[in-house]
Amino acid sequence: MSLIEGRTGEWEIVIGLEVHAQVMSDAKLFSGASTAFGAEPNTQVSLVDAAMPGMLPVINGKCVEQAVRTGLGLKAKINLVSVFDRKNYFYPDLPQGYQISQFSDPIVGRGDVVLDMPDGSTRTVELTRIHLEQDAGKSVHDQDPGHTLIDLNRSGVALMEIVSEPDMRSAEEAAVYVTKLRSILRYLGTCDGNMEQGSLRCDANVSVRKPGGELGTRCEIKNLNSIRFLREAIQYEARRQIDVIEDGGTIAQETRLFDSDRGVTRTMRSKEEAHDYRYFPDPDLLPLTLTQDFVDRLKAELPELPDEKKARFMADLGLGEEDAGVLVAERAVAEYYEQVAEGRDGKIAANWVAGELFGALNRKGIDITETPVPAARLGGLIDLIADGTISNRIAKDVFEDMVETGRDAAAIVEDKGLKQVSDSGAIETVVDELIAGNQGQVDQFRGGNEKVLGWFVGQVMKATQGKANPKMVNEVLRKKLAG
Amino acid sequence: MAALTALTIAEARDGLASGAYSARDLASAHIEAMEAARALNAFVLETPERALADADASDARRKSGAAGPLDGVPLAIKDLFCTEGVRTTACSHILDEFVPPYESTVTANLRAAGAVMLGKTNMDQFAMGSSNETSHFGPVVNPWRRSGDNRPLVPGGSSGGSAAAVAARLCLGAAGTDTGGSIRQPAAFCGVVGMKPTYGRCSRWGIVAFASSLDQAGPMTRTVRDATIMLGAMAGFDKKDSTSADIATPNFEAALGQGVKGLKVGIPVEYRIDGIDDEIAALWDQGADWLRDAGAEIVDISLPRTKYALPTYYIIAPAEASSNLARYDGMRYGLREDADGLEDMYEATRGAGFGPEVRRRILIGAYVLSAGYYDAYYLKAQKVRKLIADEFAAAFGKVDAILTPTVPTAAFAQGDKIDDPLEMYLNDVLTVPASLAGLPAISLPAGLSGDGLPLGLHVITRAFDEDTLFRVAESLETAAGFTAAPGAIV
Amino acid sequence: MTVDKSTVVRIAQLARIRVPEADLEALAGELDQIIGWVEQLDEVDTEGVTPMASTADAAGLRWREDKVDDGGQPDKVLANAPESRDGFFVVPKVIE
Ligand SMILES: [Mg+2]
Ligand SMILES: [Zn+2]
């Protein structure tokens, strides 16, 4: 728990998050229009999404499955009966004049998310609930000074609202929580986690209190669309609240926006008339009922999730906590690593993936799915080291070549003639010449100056362009120098 | 050609089949009648060109031997049904000149059956009203008049234009919608047959929503047989409506001619409320006798929560409506009032676009759903609704059908009740219970009042047992032998 | 009086309906009368009764398959728009 220093002593931040995760589905929650990102305005809008008179919602079964899989992945309770309610309010990008959401009976109940903190400790954040709801359309405010432009392509896209308990105590924990949640959703394939495109948005409920004291009044900061903004917004907001209170003021419960340019939060200017959403069960939709068999089937089909994978990598492949953590964060990386490690030394494979490969990907600014070196080929390179065909040092050069050309390691070693020389005859010839031509160094060694051996090794390597098997070079030198 | 407008749908079907006349003849005769009767204000939009085009297409289909069950039959469509390329307003200013780029499932089904559309009929704004006086296009005049009294009477509502058009022989049948009695009450006031099917029998897709858990489309015709034919074409499972019943549509017409021998018909004692005209109470007894004579067993039953149905309805329907009508905000279609700023535009547009009764119901709905009142009003009403539905279920353990009057009174004069909402709401006191329980119900003309106005009897049966409903209605229709027609059409 | 002028002002704001000052008094009276009338439901004992939202409940919710079979019709979507530009609906400036 990290406390903030104030004039009147230390303060504790209390954070609860509402994450809106766009469900991965081809069609919208209640219509057959596409959910694809970036289309021309109003081209992915059904007459249902535009709330034309007499249009009716029909639920997309895939979205239901995705919500249930998400609940199962987060070890949460699945409610076999849930209800869709109407949340009534007026906004130009809300065509129906209400959002179809789940209020009293959500599809997923309590669950939890385990956070691995950088200091190696773990924290558990309890999930309150997950419910399905419709996204609203997009309002464009900056195109025209006097008007707002409305695009309904997003209108009706399925969202999962994932609500946490106020269990987080620092911006860092909040960031780790969202990162972990994102990782699990991506493993499940229920949300692509793309924050730039808005498929994952956070609302942060932030309050401050004296450590262990009773909860302070919270402010909700809406639509934080990057982890950096989430951190900055929470830090700013906590400090703001502490200053207000320490200056003798009180915190007004309100909705605030984060101004990422200025790094500050501000009250939403829109009239904060006391919200009265008049929730009631949507009479166009009957209760959503699931069978236990259906839930069990989805459970049986769940992929291995990061926590389990990490444990397995540590137990079966001998990886340390940190390497394992890095390798499981992204499903694609974990799968790549597992291919490389298949039938090889797990630690060596981990070093190559987390070291050389990540380095190369970073330099190229691409991610694992675009790697020029397929897992099988990196494995092939590691095999060449294992069987003594090339040395570790040569291997690094070969890898660079693979990154540039995408070629197979063996082929590169062949063409460039990088096979290491392990033929004692060849090495002895070189050593004999050296001894003959450097009597001085020979005498020093025989006089007991061990260091000179290193000089001899260097000379042999030079003569063989580094291809001589280091181990053999040492043996031959010692034998011959002993005279 | 006047004769052609006096036909029933069944007769027209035979005449068209035998080639006695063409669909174009029928359409022309009705277009003529429609134009001659404009003083009734039954239509808010006449579509004669469309009618003739539909008719010619129908005649062509018939030549090729591919005629549907309603081929060439001229119908009127309530303006609550969205009709592709044809202005649809729900008779509210807020929809302004809205032209749907889609066709409601029910009207699409009617077209597929070969029906010819004459135009869109007048109605109470957003189907909220029982006299057709809340229409943005002005009231509809009931083609009936009290003998010796020429004051214009209301046709009932909300499907007042449809009822008047059928009664005045301006169409062979009309599509209506019923939320608490909007088909059955105007049918009773205009001396026609009006039927509300089981909730879920007809798709709600493309029908401007009033109260989603209650709205149902249904036929308005001059005979029970015509109602079976028309409902057969309107009904059917629709995957675009999550509340549509995935159940086969029977051949309703085949249920006719079986009589009521052996059926048990219940008479709910609690429906004998004060405020029921003596003539209507007498007609009710008469109806029971007719059914007894036809071989049915008449049983007294008790539906004690009946008296709470109306207040329950006036919490649930406005609550749903307040949310359903939120989409009329001036942003994407319909009326937009000039204003300075967004909030001002919302309030100006919705303030100008909704009539007084719609405004009243939206406000009631917002109130009963608002923080602190939800449990006391909305939730309470949902619980009472359950008790009412359970009561019907219990009653149908003893009887096969329930007989009641449709409305406590005959048609009243324009202006009589429009300034007293509660007085107006009482029109639906006998039709609302079946709506809350989602049950099929029908009103048929069974007699005339002393001053010559049509009076209706009302039958309710089990969910999805429209067959029995039509059997009982046919038996009453035969016994009543109601042949009266409105006098001078204006 | 359950519904007074201030109540009408509040719910009219919630419903975004402008009510002319001149109508407030009468409207409050009408709504109060109607609300007072529906309150007769208090006589009904609903202890332990499950609220009924729809008579179709028994059926349970039907699912659509995840297929893109709609959209691609901006012309239809915008056909009735009071104001539109470059494929967008145009509305008054929204202040966040
Ligand atoms: Mg939220
Ligand atoms: Zn949400």
**Choice between A159 and A121, residue whose per-residue pLDDT is larger:** A159
Question: In 10 A of CB C1, how many CB atoms?
Answer: 10
Helix, strand, coil percentages (3-state) for chain A, rounded to 5, are 40, 20, 40
d(CA A443, CA A421): 28
CB C75 within 8 A of CB A45: no
Question: In 10 A of CB A146, how many CB atoms?
Answer: 7
B182: annotated active-site residue: yes
Which tokens hold the place of B304?
A: 């004690």
Is pLDDT at A463 greater than 50 in this prediction? yes
Task: Please give the average per-residue pLDDT across B36-46, as a whole number.
Answer: 97
Which tokens hold the place of C16?
A: 């975004």
Residue with tokens 């049509």: B454
Taking any CB pair shorter than 8 Å as contact, residues of chain C touching chain A are: 13-14, 16, 53-54, 56-57, 59-74, 76-78, 85-96
Read off the pLDDT band of A87 (50, 70, 90).
Answer: very high
At B26 the three-state DSSP class reads helix
> Any idea of the CA torsion for C4, C9, C15, C18, to the nearest 10 degrees?
130
pLDDT above 70 covers a percentage of chain A that reads 98
Which tokens hold the place of A7?
A: 């004039």
Cβ neighbourhood burial of A18 (10 Å; 0-12, 13-18, 19+) = middle
Question: In 10 A of CB A347, how many CB atoms?
Answer: 14
Looking at residue A481, what is its pLDDT? 85
At A30 the three-state DSSP class reads coil
DSSP code, position B209: P
Residue with tokens 């359903």: B324
CA atoms within 13 A on the CB side of B311: 21
Lowest mean pLDDT among A275-289, A417-431, B16-30, B386-400: A417-431
Mean pLDDT value across chain A:
93
Looking at residue C43, what is its pLDDT? 97
Looking at residue A269, what is its pLDDT? 62
Read off the pLDDT band of B1 (50, 70, 90).
Answer: very low
Q: Does the distance separating the beta carbons of A55 and B242 come in below 8 Å?
A: no
For residue A111, give the nearest of A195, A193, A181, A206 by alpha carbon. Answer: A181
Looking at residue A137, what is its pLDDT? 97
Angle in degrees, 0-180, between the axes of helices B278-293 and B466-480, rounded to the nearest 10: 110
Give the ipTM of the model, two decimals please. 0.97
A&C contacts, CB < 8 Å: 134
CB B442 within 8 A of CB B461: no
pLDDT above 90 covers a percentage of chain A that reads 76
d(CA B282, CA B279): 5
Task: Please state the three-class secondary structure of B163-203 as a single string.
Answer: HHHHHCCCCCEEEEEECCCCCHHHHHHHCCEEEECCCCCCC
Residue type present at position A473: V
B-facing residues of A in 52-111 (CB < 8 A) are 52-59, 86, 88, 90, 92, 95-98
Question: In 10 A of CB B309, how many CB atoms?
Answer: 26
C89 contacts in chain B (CB < 8 Å): 331-332
Q: How far apart are the CA of A155 and the centre of ligand 2, in A? A: 13
B158: annotated active-site residue: yes
DSSP letters of A296-335? HHHHHTPPPPHHHHHHHHHHHH---HHHHHHHHSSHHHHH
d(CA A4, CA A236): 12
Mean pLDDT value across chain C:
94
d(CA A52, CA A152): 13
- Ligand closest to A17 (CA) is 1
Looking at residue A1, what is its pLDDT? 57
Is pLDDT at A240 greater than 80 in this prediction? yes
For residue A96, give the nearest of B324, B358, B240, B347 by alpha carbon. Answer: B324
d(CA A460, CA A430): 7
Of A96-105, A268-277, A465-474, the range with the highest mean pLDDT is: A96-105
Looking at residue B183, what is its pLDDT? 98
Is pLDDT at C82 greater than 50 in this prediction? yes
Is pLDDT at B2 greater than 70 in this prediction? no
Helices (H), C1-96: 5-14, 21-38, 74-78
d(CA A295, CA A287): 17
Distance of alpha carbon A338 from its chain centroid, rounded? Answer: 18
Mean pLDDT value across chain B:
97
Looking at residue B487, what is its pLDDT? 80
Which tokens hold the place of B157?
A: 């509502």
d(CA B340, CA B262): 69
For residue B408, give the nearest of B484, B310, B299, B316 by alpha carbon. Answer: B310
Looking at residue A270, what is its pLDDT? 55
Is pLDDT at C59 greater than 70 in this prediction? no
Cβ neighbourhood burial of A186 (10 Å; 0-12, 13-18, 19+) = buried
Lowest mean pLDDT among A208-222, B99-113, C77-91: A208-222
At B452 the three-state DSSP class reads coil
Is pLDDT at A476 greater than 70 in this prediction? yes
Enumerate neighbours of A (3 or more CB pairs within 8 A): B, C
CB A73 within 8 A of CB A111: no
B-facing residues of C in 51-70 (CB < 8 A) are 51-56, 59, 61-62, 64
Task: Please give the average per-residue pLDDT across B314-343, as a whole number.
Answer: 97
Q: How far apart are the CA of A220 and the centre of ligand 2, in A? A: 13
A92 contacts in chain B (CB < 8 Å): 329, 331, 342
Q: Does the distance separating the beta carbons of B322 and C41 come in below 8 Å?
A: no
B325 contacts in chain A (CB < 8 Å): 97
DSSP letters of A414-450? HHTT---B--HHHHHHHHHHHHHH-HHHHHHHHTT-T
CA atoms within 13 A on the CB side of A357: 27
For residue A200, give the nearest of A17, A21, A29 by alpha carbon. Answer: A21
Task: Please give the average per-residue pLDDT across B75-86, as a whole number.
Answer: 98
Looking at residue B170, what is its pLDDT? 98
Read off the pLDDT band of A419 (50, 70, 90).
Answer: confident
Looking at residue A391, what is its pLDDT? 82
CB A386 within 8 A of CB A356: no
For residue B323, give the nearest of C37, A281, C7 by alpha carbon. Answer: A281
Q: Does the distance separating the beta carbons of A276 and B242 come in below 8 Å?
A: no
pTM for this structure? 0.93
Residue with tokens 């009710």: B284
Q: Is C29 left (phi over 0), alpha (psi -120 to 50) or beta?
A: alpha
Establish if B322 touches chain C: CB-CB under 8 angstroms.
yes
Q: What angle do CA B94, B98, B102 make, to 5 degrees?
A: 135
Angle in degrees, 0-180, between the axes of helices B23-36 and B48-63, rounded to the nearest 10: 160
At B222 the three-state DSSP class reads coil
CB A42 within 8 A of CB C87: yes
Asked whether the bond before A155 is cis by omega within 30 degrees of 0, the reply is no
Is pLDDT at B228 greater than 80 in this prediction? yes
CB A241 within 8 A of CB A275: no
Measured in angstroms, the CA of C27 and the nearest CA of chain B are apart by 8
Q: How far apart are the CA of C62 and the centre of ligand 1, in A? A: 27
Establish if B331 touches chain C: CB-CB under 8 angstroms.
yes
Of A249-258, A442-451, B289-298, the range with the highest mean pLDDT is: B289-298
Task: Please give the average per-residue pLDDT across B120-136, as a whole number.
Answer: 98
**Choice between A319 and A422, residue whose per-residue pLDDT is larger:** A319
H helix and E strand count, chain A: 16, 17
Measured in angstroms, the CA of C69 and the nearest CA of chain B are apart by 13
Please write the tens of the pLDDT for every residue from A191-208.
999 999 999 999 999 999
Taking any CB pair shorter than 8 Å as contact, residues of chain B touching chain A are: 82, 88, 90, 95, 98, 100-102, 104, 204-209, 211-213, 239-243, 319-320, 322-323, 325-327, 329, 331-333, 342-343, 346, 366, 369-371, 374, 378
Read off the pLDDT band of A212 (50, 70, 90).
Answer: confident
Establish if A47 touches chain B: CB-CB under 8 angstroms.
yes
Q: Does the distance separating the beta carbons of A285 and B327 come in below 8 Å?
A: no
CB B98 within 8 A of CB B110: no
Q: Tell me which chain C residue has its CA closest to the CA of residue A98.
A: C15
B103 contacts in chain A (CB < 8 Å): none
The contacts of residue A419 (CB under 8 Å, 6+ apart) are: A389, A390, A413, A467
Is pLDDT at A298 greater than 80 in this prediction? yes
d(CA A330, CA A411): 31
Q: Tell me which chain B residue has its CA closest to the CA of residue A58.
A: B242
Read off the pLDDT band of B488 (50, 70, 90).
Answer: low
Measured in angstroms, the CA of C82 and the nearest CA of chain A are apart by 13
DSSP code, position A355: I
Instruction: Choose the closest CB to C81 out of B322, B332, B380.
Output: B332
Looking at B197-240, which runs of residues are DSSP E strands? 216-221
d(CA A243, CA B306): 62
d(CA B191, CA B445): 5
CB C16 within 8 A of CB B325: no
Task: Please give the average per-residue pLDDT across B23-44, as a whole number.
Answer: 98
Indicate the pairing of strand A158-164 with strand A255-259. Answer: unpaired
Is pLDDT at B364 greater than 70 in this prediction? yes
Is pLDDT at C60 greater than 90 in this prediction? no
C35 contacts in chain B (CB < 8 Å): 364, 367-368, 377
